[in-house]
A = this chain, B = another copy of it.
Amino acid sequence: MASLLHQIRHQSVTIDRPLPLDSGQALPSVTIAYQSYGTLNADRSNAVLVCHALTGDQYVASDHPATGKPGWWARMVGPGKPVDTDRYFVLCANVLGSCMGTSGPATPDAATGAPLGMAFPVITIADMVRAQAMLLDHLGIARLHAVIGGSMGGMQTLGWAAAYPERLASAVVIASAARHSAQNIAFHEVGRQAIMADPDWQDGQYYGSDRAPTKGLSVARMAAHITYLSEAGLTEKFGRRLQARDAKSFGFDADFQVESYLRHQGLAFTDRFDANAYLYITRAMDYFDLAEPYDGRLAGAFAKARDVRFTLVSFDTDWLYPTSESRRVVQALQSVGAAASFVELSAPFGHDSFLLDVPALDRLVAGALRNGG
């Protein structure tokens, strides 16, 4: 599976400058795969950077090359949509460490030509943001109309405001947090252990072999997927309903619809994602704590972001990045005098609400972009 994934050709640019990393290491050069929608205007002032989540990619509003499915935010990005490609030049780059064309653990070692695997350096959210800034430099975009993202995309958006406050007018942070909690780390660690427990993982050097840790990756995805949904949403969608045969098997097949759904989510994920990339990106998220360099004072991260217009959105059923984490960001922003609007939306879908049909979110995003320029 993973080997098929790596045969897909993506639009990308290779920047032959070192990318310094938070670990102290550096990538000698970096390849960034990206998609763009709409047209950059003459004064290059209408660019909107969309940052994707853990398992997202640059195919925001175009069909996924592996699955053929519509872009993950096609409902939000397009002509006449909240992120209006008739008005904005919308850019989305596959994050550093991922598996859709940007430098990551499947990237060949410059010397040997063999995939780096676990020799790829551990990266952070700030490193992802630094790579995106290099892409913008390459494209000649000095300043962004807006940066927008949900979940890990929101972490990058916050990272943009902290690292390059002069380069963005507006930041839209959806269903996100300024740090990973102990529970967030715990769930990710379960996923990593599931992958590394799979003998087909082979210490990360499975790319050349005919085996990949699909079982471990599938279990990791199943565990994570539960955290993306609300308890009430799961109950409404599945409850205790049985599969079509409508009777308990008294065996270990998927009797309940929720079991079958989860198994499918796990398995389908392995067609479009690489296990090592999952290790690296979850690690980057767990390391994320925007307040850490400021002795735990989150306001420190926003000291120079006074002129950025912030919009924060949380969902009442999101227990992965609950409203309290968004409030914490808003308080830090207010303490430095930054303009921050915040709304908790009611939606039944849990964390995944940012990807789903929540009309109030569409209106908020459209408004944030109109006001942000």
Interface string of A249-265 (1 = CB under 8 A from B): 01110111011001100
Residue A138 is within 8 A (CB to CB) of chain B in the complex = no
CB-based contact B252/A118 at 8 Å: yes
Distance, CA A273 to CA B265, complexed state (A): 29
CB-based contact A223/B279 at 8 Å: no
Query: Which residues from B are CB-within-8-Å of A263?
Result: 189, 193
Residue A71 is within 8 A (CB to CB) of chain B in the complex = no
CB-based contact A289/B259 at 8 Å: no
CB-based contact B186/A234 at 8 Å: yes
> How many A residues, CB 8 Å from partner?
57
Distance, CA A186 to CA B258, complexed state (A): 6
- Contact check: which of B23, B240, B251, B262 meets A189 at CB < 8 Å? B262
- Contact check: which of B181, B193, B239, B259 meets A231 at CB < 8 Å? B181
Q: Which of A190, A218, A229, A319 has the most chain B CB atoms closer than 10 A to its own CB?
A: A190
Interface string of A11-34 (1 = CB under 8 A from B): 000000000001111000000000
Interface string of A208-236 (1 = CB under 8 A from B): 00000001101100110010010100110
Distance, CA A266 to CA B197, complexed state (A): 12
CB-based contact B182/A197 at 8 Å: no
Distance, CA A122 to CA B248, complexed state (A): 10
Distance, CA A12 to CA B198, complexed state (A): 38
CB-based contact B193/A266 at 8 Å: yes
Instruction: Identify 17 new A-B residue pairs, CB closer than 8 A, beyond the known A181-B231, A181-B234, A190-B262.
Output: A22-B250, A122-B251, A181-B235, A183-B226, A185-B258, A185-B259, A186-B222, A186-B226, A186-B259, A190-B222, A193-B218, A193-B266, A194-B194, A197-B218, A197-B219, A199-B199, A252-B283
Q: List 21 A-B contacts (CB under 8 A).
A: A122-B250, A182-B235, A182-B258, A183-B229, A183-B231, A183-B235, A185-B258, A186-B234, A186-B259, A187-B226, A190-B226, A190-B262, A193-B219, A194-B219, A197-B198, A197-B215, A197-B218, A199-B199, A219-B219, A252-B279, A255-B286
